[in-house]
Amino acid sequence: MAVIVQRSTRSLEEWAALDPDELLAGPFVTELFGQMEVIAAAAGVMHGYLVWHSVINNAFNIYGPDIFLEMNDRPEIVHRFFGLICDVMIRLAQRVQERQRRSGFAIDQLDIANCVMNMISPRAYRQFFFPYDRRCAESFERFGVHTCNWNVTPYVHELAKLPKVGYLDMGMMSDMRLVRDLFPETRRAVMYSPVKFHDAPIEEIRADMRRIYEELAPCDVVMADIQADTRDSRVIELSEICRALEMAGGVSGR
């Protein structure tokens, strides 16, 4: 999930004062639903699960890194800004999924990407972003959290307080046993490093897969962003390693 760093051309007051109804009636939303109608006309049922940028990702994309300073200096207006983002996210996602359901695809879930979570402390997450992640989770039947290939351990106790968490991913530096204990019913996944996958000896990769199996299984191993010059033989080797572990009752490769 890409995150674009930019500096806002509007003040925080201007952002926080925007009307969510006007934003949801804007040209972007109109174009989005126009594209959905094109898909419906060509394919009928509109299958697909979107991963939405979370409040923290959207705030970072919209306002830039200065948002972290504002959180310390002006928390009240920051919460108004985050509340606006959350309202627009939930309402737009609900509208998109309602159109998907009318096409014949049953969906009532929200998956969010907290890609920049590791840029803030667990305390800051609890104070500024957990309330909005919770609102998102409560607004849908199912809820999932993507944290990229980072260490989820410092935040895992807060994330465990969210309702309906059906999916959670993390990097290998996370305390995977702890995650398994706190999320026994959640579909868990490890985002394996594409650089390590490209460069490491196969025995090191085999040892990593064994560790994932022992500490987190049943789970997924997600091989996102594989480099273009990664050998086909390496992909086949990984598939065989994961298949053997899957046959033993634990890990599946995706």
User: Which of 8-17, 161-170, 181-190 is least confident?
Assistant: 8-17
59: how many CB neighbours lie within 10 A of its CB? Answer: 28
pLDDT tens digits, residue range 139-183? 999 999 999 999 999 999 999 999 999 999 999 999 999 999 999
Q: What is the CATH topology of the domain spanning 9-32+48-191?
A: TIM Barrel (3.20.20)
pLDDT of 6 higher than 60:
no
Q: Identify the pLDDT of residue 2.
A: 53
Q: Does residue 27 have a cis bond before it (omega within 30 degrees)?
A: no
11 pairs with which residues across the strands?
none
Q: What is the pTM of this model?
A: 0.89
pLDDT tens digits, residue range 50-107? 989 999 999 999 999 999 999 999 999 999 999 999 999 999 999 999 999 999 999 9
Distance of CA 175 to the CA centre of its chain: 19
Q: Where in the chain is the domain with CATH 3.20.20.210?
A: 9-32+48-191
Rounded CA-CA distance 88/23 in Å is: 8
